[in-house]
Structure 1
Amino acid sequence: MEISGLFTALLFGALIGGLGRLVVPGRQHVSLLATIAVGIVAALLGTAAATVLGVADTPGIDWIELALQVGLAGAGVTILANRAKPKLPH
């Protein structure tokens, strides 16, 4: 992977992770680095799912692929936020 590809992956991961955080209601206690990592993984998994479904290479913007990526990022942020939530005694 070239350095420009790495920067693109980080930027796109941050964008997808940020959008994933926006679709999850409430406040999440997840670091920026974890959000970027979730975004990168969600972008890769969303692209793979869109390829399997046959909607990855459409003319124009791939809205279905983007929706899959953001949905997966939202799920990943939710999972991380729930793991990081402090357990209070009842």
Structure 2
Amino acid sequence: MGWLWAIIVGFVLGLIAKAIIPGKQHSPLWLTTIFGILGAIVGNAVARGFGVEETPGIDWSRHIFQLVAAVVIVAVGDMLYVRTLGRRRHRA
């Protein structure tokens, strides 16, 4: 069940990150979901580094770290995706 939650959270974080980033992102939905999953993992690690552990209620600070990490990863990942896609189109 942990993988299912990771995919759901990654999907939601990826979509929110895409909505926050200005302009159009060209990465497909499956790649955005992977970026969101990576954002959740990195955000959790950064939150732990700042001393934020799991709490019994909603842990807003941890979610903010996850969202910020997802925004950065989606933005950088989309730039790399477009650059890679552009190289492929020029070769053909």
| TM-score, scaled to structure 1 | 0.81
- State the Cα distance separating 1:14 from its structure 2 match: 0.5
Q: Quickly say closer, same or farther: Cα 1:81–1:11, change in 2 above 3 A.
A: same
CA RMSD of aligned residues (A): 1.7
How many percent of aligned residue pairs carry the same amino acid?
A: 32
How far, CA to CA, are the matches of 2:78 and 2:10 in structure 1?
18
- Mapped contact 1:21–1:73 kept (Cα < 8 A): no
Structure 1: runs of 5+ lacking an equivalent: none
User: Does residue 52 of structure 1 match 2:49?
Assistant: yes
- Determine helix, strand or coil for the equivalent of 2:64: helix
1:33-78 CA distance string (max 9 Å, x none): 1111011111011111111211232342111111111111111111
- Determine helix, strand or coil for the equivalent of 1:17: helix
Match of 1:37 among 34, 37, 41: 34
Q: Higher helix share goes to which structure?
A: 2
- Amino acid of the structure 2 residue aligned with 1:75: V
How far, CA to CA, are the matches of 1:56 and 1:46 in structure 2?
12
| TM-score, scaled to structure 2 | 0.80
- Amino acid of the structure 2 residue aligned with 1:78: A
| Over 3 Å off, 4+ runs | none
- Amino acid of the structure 2 residue aligned with 1:11: I
Which residue in 2 is equivalent to 1:68? 65
Structure 2: runs of 5+ lacking an equivalent: 88-92
